[in-house]
Structure 1
Amino acid sequence: MVHRIIEWSLQNRYIVLILATGLFVWGFFAVRNNPIDAIPDLSENQVIVFTEWMGRGPQLIEDQITYPLVTNLQGLPDVKYVRANSMFGMSFIYIIFEDEVDIYWARERVLERMSTVSQSLPEGVSPQLGPDGTGVGHILWYTLDAPELDLGEQRAIQDWYVKFALQNVKGVSEIASFGGFQKQYQVTLNPNKLLYYDLAVNNVIAAVRANNNESGGRKFEMSDIGYVISTSGYLKSMEEIENIPVKNQKGISVRIADVGTVQMAGETRLGIFDRNGEGEKVGGIVVMRYGENAAAVIERVKAKMVEAAKGLPPGVSFNIVYDRGELIQESIDSIKHTLIEEMIVVSLIVIVFLFHWRSALSIIIQIPITIAASFLLLNAFDISSNIMSLTGIALAIGVIVDNGIIMSENAYKHLAERYAQWEQQQKNEPQ
């Protein structure tokens, strides 16, 4: 079979050259379309279920949230195993699927199962799916440089403007905010006054919820004009919260201000983000979507940052803390220079040792064609251009050249033997 292929190739050299040129051009476009990253994504094919129930201890979280979810999620198809972690106020469940399972199919199966489990969970608890990213999806970290704004104002800008702007970028799964204070109204109750007015904490909570609502009426027509009736009952200030009635006692309303105090404060935090010892900062983490091109997503996010910066308050700007794009570029440049240097050195060695330009050219021309064709396989198996894959290509150049040298030397040897036999026949023939 091999002899027939070689024989056919020798008899149809121009067809072989055309096929090799077409393969090289196809591989060239494959190089341009191949996703680029610094490191290979070796994370597991997992779906994360996050549940928040603040104020509860780890044991209570384990008994009433983690255990019911884990026992029901174990029966999903193509699941390898389920891991869980219960901590103060939060539950994390990691469902690990088989490697060949599509991640979005797996997320749909988890959502279907969660819809049946939610009835067995405590009231007000709602499990959520984590972002459709991987363990190496954190591609860019940034902070807001706003020396004239306090941490609460910076966090409000991050949560209500910057986050929504960057989440629209193609390939971004989530913008995770960090640092600063999340503003909230806090009601501090006096237990002695609650006892005096015969009230419970639940009565105050129910009063606040009932008075922070907006309801609609119906359409009212008068003089051939239609009016839509609605009431606006959203709380807008601390004074409105203080004046909420909790109980009617002998014709006198007991307000929240009578049993406690209302103040504007920040949500309880479990940590802070400090940069270079200059103080606390507010920012976000860009999480890349599963299977996206890291380099392309980073460029799109940076372009969106330039656009979003025009709407920031005066004196506020972006400060990129971690950018994987720089690592990607440095890694690719290093491997690229190594490939070029190796190709040059190997070509010179082949020319020197063979000392026959046609034989050397037949070997050297295999290098770019083989490298270009290898990217076709990388795209076929969804493998990105990273340190590992490009290093493997660089190491394979020696094998490619070695095979070419062996075949060329073998062909040269047989041709020399045939030429010697032909010369001997010419001498033995009578004149």
Structure 2
Amino acid sequence: MIEKLISFSLHNRIMVLLIAAALFGWGLYSVQTNKVDAIPDLSENQVIVFTEWMGRSPQLVEDQITYPLVTNLQGLPEVKYVRGTSMFGMSFIYIIFEDDTDVYWARSRVLERLNSVGNVLPEDATPTLGPDGTGVGHVLWYTLDAPGMDLGEQRAIQDWYVKFGLQNVKGVSEVASFGGFQKQYQVTIDPTKLTYYNLSVPQVIQAVRANNNEAGGRKFELADIGYIIKTTGYLKSVEEVENIAVTTTNTIPVRVKDVASVQMTGESRLGIFDVNGEGEAVGGIVVMRYGENAEEVIGNVKVKMEEVAKGLPEGVKFNIVYDRSGLINESIDSVRNTLIEEMVVASMVVFLFLFHWRSALVIMIQLPLSVAIGFILLNAFDISSNIMSLTGIALSVGVIVDDAIVMVENAYRHLADATKAKQSVD
């Protein structure tokens, strides 16, 4: 078989050269289009289901949320195993699928099953899917540099402006906010006053909920003009919350401010985010979508940041805390330079040992061609250019050179022997 292949190549040199040129061109194109990242994504093919049930103990969360979800999600197709974790007020379910399963097909199957298990969960517990990212999807962290602005305002800018702008970038799965205070109206009830007015906590809660709502009416026509009737009842200030009537006693309304104090404050926090010991900061984490090009996503996010920055308040700007593109470029450049150096050194050694430029030329052509074909295979198997894949190519250069030296030296020796035999006959 090998003899026939060699014979065919010798008799069709132009065709072999054209095929090699085509493969080399295809390889160059693969180098330009190959996904680039610093580290390979070795995480499992999983879908995360998150359920929040605040104020409940881990054991209660385990019994009423985690256990029912785990038992119902175990029968999904192509699932290897299901893991569950319960903590205070939160439940996490990790559904691990087979490695060759499409992640979006898997998420669809999980959503279908969740629709059928909602009746077995508590009313105020709603399971949701985690982002379609992986464990190495955190490609960029940033904070808002806003001198003189309080943390609540910064968090509001992050949650209601910056986050929505960056989430539209192609390849971004989620922008997770951190730091600062999430503004909320906090009603602190006085139990002594509740007892005095013969009220209960649920009555106060129901009164606030009922007065923070909008209702639609109908279309009313007058003089050939149509009017849309609706009521606007959303609470907009602390004073409006304080003046909500909870009940009426002897025609005198008992308002929220009579039994509780109302203030604008931040949600309770379990920690803070500090930057370089200089104080608290507000920012976000850009999570890359599964299977995307990290270098391209980071570049697109930075371009979008420049556009979003134009709408920020005066004096507010982005401060990038972690940027994986630096690690990507340094890692890839290091391995790439090593690969080029190996190719140059190997070609020089071959030329010095054989001292035959045509033999050295064969090896010099074979090395870049082999590397180009390697990138074609990387694209075919959807493998990114990272430290491990490029190091593997760099290590294979030695094997390629050894094989080429043996073949070229053997061919050179046979040709030399044939030339000597021909000269002796003449």
Task: Report the TM-score, using the length of structure 2 for normalisation.
Answer: 0.99
Query: Which residue in the other structure is 1:298 paired with?
Result: 298
Q: Which residue of 1 aligns with 2:421?
A: 421
Q: 1:424 Cα deviation (Å)?
A: 3.9
Match of 2:86 in 1: 86
Q: Among the aligned pairs, what percent are the same residue?
A: 71
Q: Which amino acid aligns with 2:148?
A: E
Contact 1:49 1:93 in 2 (8 A): yes
1:181-224, Cα deviation, whole Å (9 max, x unpaired): 00000001111111122211111111111110000111111122
Offset, 1:252: 1.6
Shift of 1:375: 0.6
Matches within 5 A, 1:404-419: 404-419=404-419
Deviations 1:23-74 (CA, angstroms, capped at 9, x unpaired): 0001100110000000000000000011111111111111111111111011
Q: Counterpart of 1:111?
A: 111
Question: Is residue 57 of structure 2 the alignment partner of residue 57 of structure 1?
Answer: yes
2:344 paired with 1:344: yes
CA distance in structure 2 between the partners assigned to 1:5 and 1:254 by the alignment? 97
Secondary structure of 1:393's match? Answer: helix
| Aligned positions of 1:112-191 closer than 5 A | 112-191=112-191
Alpha-carbon displacement from aligned partner over 1:107-139 (angstroms, at most 9, x marks no partner): 000000001111111112111100000000000
Cα deviation digits, residues 59-96 of structure 1 (max 9, x gap): 11111111111110111111111111111111111111
The residue number in structure 2 matching 1:11 is 11
Correspondences of 1:21-420 after superposition (within 5 Å): 21-420=21-420
User: Partners in 1 of 2:342 and 2:412 — Cα distance?
Assistant: 25
| Structure 1: distance between partners of 2:366 and 2:4 | 21
Structure 2: distance between partners of 1:191 and 1:246:
15
**Contact 1:148/1:315 (CA < 8 Å) preserved in 2?**
no
Code of the residue aligned with 1:306 in structure 2: it is E
Which residue in 2 is equivalent to 1:429? Answer: none
Contact 1:364 1:401 in 2 (8 A): no
Amino acid at match of 1:137: G
- Compute the displacement of 1:11 (Å): 1.0
CA distance in 2, matches of 1:390, 1:201: 64
Residue identity matched to 1:91: S
Q: What is the alpha-carbon distance in structure 2 between the residues aligned to residue 30 and residue 340 of structure 1?
A: 17
Question: CA separation in 2, counterparts of 1:356 and 1:424?
Answer: 23
SS of structure 2 residue aligned to 1:253? strand
Measured in 2, the distance between the counterparts of 1:20 and 1:261 equals: 80
Distance in 1, Cα, partners of 2:368 & 2:138: 34
Cα distance between partner residues in 2 of 1:323 and 1:424: 70
Q: Tell me how far 1:250 sits from its aligned partner.
A: 2.1
Distance 1:174 1:160 in 2: 14
Per-residue deviation, residues 273-323 of structure 1 (Å, max 9, x unmatched)? 101100011000000000000000000000000111111111111000000
CA distance in 2, matches of 1:407, 1:23: 21
The DSSP-based 3-state class of the residue aligned with 2:370 is: helix
AA partner of residue 321 (structure 2): V
Tell me, which stretches of 5 or more residues in structure 1 are unaligned? 427-431
Q: Aligned partner of 1:118: which letter?
A: G
Q: Distance in 2 between matches of 1:409 and 1:226?
A: 94
Please list the CA deviations of residues 329-366 of structure 1 after superposition, one character each: whole Å capped at 9, or x if unmatched.
Answer: 00111011111111111111000001001111011100
Q: Secondary structure of the equivalent of 1:311?
A: coil
In 1, the alpha carbon distance for the partners of 2:44 and 2:320 equals 28
How far apart are the structure 2 equivalents of 1:416 and 1:222? Answer: 107
1:380-407 CA-to-partner distances (Å, cap 9, x unmatched) read: 1110000000000001111111111111
Question: Distance in 2 between the 1:39 and 1:215 partners?
Answer: 53
RMSD, aligned CA:
0.9
- State how far apart, in whole Å, the 2-side matches of 1:300 and 1:395 are: 33
Q: Which amino acid aligns with 1:240?
A: E
Offset from partner CA, 1:256-280 (integer Å, 9 cap, x none)? 1111110111001111110110001
SS in 1 for 2:399: helix
Residue type at the aligned position of 1:305:
M
User: Which residue type is aligned with residue 161 of structure 1?
Assistant: Y
Residue 413 of structure 1 deviates from its aligned partner by 2.1
- Tell me whether 77-86 or 385-394 shows the greater mean CA deviation: 77-86
CA–CA distance in 1 between the matches of 2:403 and 2:412? 14
Q: How many equivalent pairs are there?
A: 426
Partner of 1:285: helix, strand, or coil?
strand
| C-alpha displacement of 1:374 | 0.6
Matches of 2:9 and 2:402 in 1, distance apart? 21
Superposed CA deviations along residues 393-426 of structure 1, whole A, max 9, x for unmatched, are: 0011111111111111111222233333334433
Instruction: State how far apart, in whole Å, the 2-side matches of 1:380 and 1:398 are.
Output: 24
SS at match of 2:310: helix
- Secondary structure of 2:111's counterpart equals helix
Deviation larger for 248-257 or 391-400: 248-257
Q: Which sits farther off after the overlay, 406-415 or 307-316?
A: 406-415
